[in-house]
Amino acid sequence: MIFQQTIKSPVRFTGIGLHSGANVKVTVQPAAVNSGIRFIRTDINPMALFQASVNQIKDTRFATTIGTQAGTISTVEHLMAAFFSTGIDNAVVQIDGPEIPAMDGSAYPFIQYLKNTGLSRQHIEKKYINILKKIEITQDDKCIAIEPWDHFALDVEVDFKHPVISKQKISVDLMTPCLFEKQISKARTFGFFHEVDFLKKNGLARGGSLENAVVVGDDSILNPEGLRYPDEFARHKALDLVGDMYLLGHPIIGKITAYKSGHTMHQSLMEALKRDVSAWELITLSAIEDSETISSACL
């Protein structure tokens, strides 16, 4: 049987928000079974508490922002991907500002913090969303689909018509969350140098730098260290997709195919799934052979 997990003890980290530029302190606390991932804005009085859920999405234009009228938290997707990767079902994230810190632009530093504090097995079985029928969303030239599969798998393609990026495609079989850590979690967020002025004038990318993002110039990568993977852009899109989809509250057993997709398309797919309850079922893996392998995080 596969059981739910939380962290053993609180873990703290600080950093700068990619868009807000705000320096924030984050504490992740252990949480009770079936409580899911919850966020608390501690700098708001009374403190704003909300579930990490597709129902709480407030904005998807440049990052995924969740919240209520009392307050929001933006750029939750990389931390959510880290919860997926470490197999954490229940946790409370306390933050004293409007945006999760960018760290190095990937999910990897969060995964290290969570693993270092240790995981705690809880007494109730973990649930998975098992996809039963194909759902496809098309918007202009963008497309995202989810279909039944015997594990979690992704096909992600980007197509920027830019000399440095152009087309990149990655297919990953995330038979275990550990494979996410190994193959996807270090891919950094990216932006185009020619957009930096526009973004900053609109209050975005204020905390962005070569320390926490890949910056793409007209004909080269501006980061002196270069890329972490030749197809880092497609891998980062896969990271965003995994983090956003974890706002459904459970890991998925199904295959997602995404072409030129982003946070808004991810939200549309999650809402379509929520509307069509015949497209999925909530299951535990106790009946499935090899369930220990499916659930294993990297040690």
Question: Binding to Zn ion by residue 244, rule CB under 5 A?
Answer: no
Question: Binding to Zn ion by residue 231, rule CB under 5 A?
Answer: no
Q: How far is CA 164 from CA 10, 176, 286, in A?
A: 41, 32, 46
Looking at beta carbons only, is 90 or 185 nearer to Zn ion? 185
Of 64-72, 108-116, 188-196, 210-218, which part binds Zn ion (CB under 5 A)? 188-196
Closest CA to 186 of 255, 152, 236: 236
Of 22-30, 114-122, 135-143, 186-194, which part binds Zn ion (CB under 5 A)? 186-194
Closest distance between Zn ion and the C-beta of residue 236, in Å?
Answer: 6
Q: Which of 6, 189, 261, 267 binds Zn ion (CB under 5 A)?
A: 189
Of 45-53, 174-182, 218-226, 232-240, which part binds Zn ion (CB under 5 A)? 232-240
Looking at beta carbons only, is 181 or 240 nearer to Zn ion? 240
Looking at beta carbons only, is 189 or 261 nearer to Zn ion? 189
Looking at beta carbons only, is 231 or 240 nearer to Zn ion? 240
Closest distance between Zn ion and the C-beta of residue 240, in Å?
Answer: 4
Q: Which of 89, 99, 232, 240 binds Zn ion (CB under 5 A)?
A: 240
- In DSSP notation, 128-186 reads EEEE-S-EEEEETTEEEEEE--SSEEEEEEEE---TTT-EEEEEEEESSHHHHHHHTTT
3-class SS at 191?
strand
Q: How many residues bind Zn ion (CB under 5 A)?
A: 2
Looking at beta carbons only, is 59 or 147 nearer to Zn ion? 59
Question: Binding to Zn ion by residue 181, rule CB under 5 A?
Answer: no
Closest distance between Zn ion and the C-beta of residue 239, in Å?
Answer: 6
Q: Supply φ then ψ for residue 203, to 5 degrees.
A: 75, 20
Closest distance between Zn ion and the C-beta of residue 228, in Å?
Answer: 14
Question: Binding to Zn ion by residue 60, rule CB under 5 A?
Answer: no
Closest distance between Zn ion and the C-beta of residue 46, in Å?
Answer: 31
What character string, x for contact with Zn ion (CB under 5 A) and - otherwise, covers 134-173?
----------------------------------------
Q: C-alpha dihedral over 103, 108, 109, 111, to 10 degrees?
A: 130
- Amino acid 290 reads D
Token reading at 60: 């998807």
Of 50-58, 133-141, 184-192, 263-271, which part binds Zn ion (CB under 5 A)? 184-192
* Residues assigned a catalytic role: 263
Closest distance between Zn ion and the C-beta of residue 33, in Å?
Answer: 29
How crowded is the C-beta side of 19, counted as CA atoms within 13 Å? 20
Looking at beta carbons only, is 185 or 189 nearer to Zn ion? 189
How crowded is the C-beta side of 115, counted as CA atoms within 13 Å? 17
- In DSSP notation, 55-105 reads GGEEE-SSS-EEEETTEEEB--HHHHHHHHHHT---EEEEESSSB-B-TTS
Rounded to an integer, what distance in angstroms lies between the CA atom of residue 178 and that of residue 180?
5
Rounded to an integer, what distance in angstroms lies between the CA atom of residue 154 and that of residue 99?
27
**Footprint of Zn ion (CB under 5 A):** 189, 240
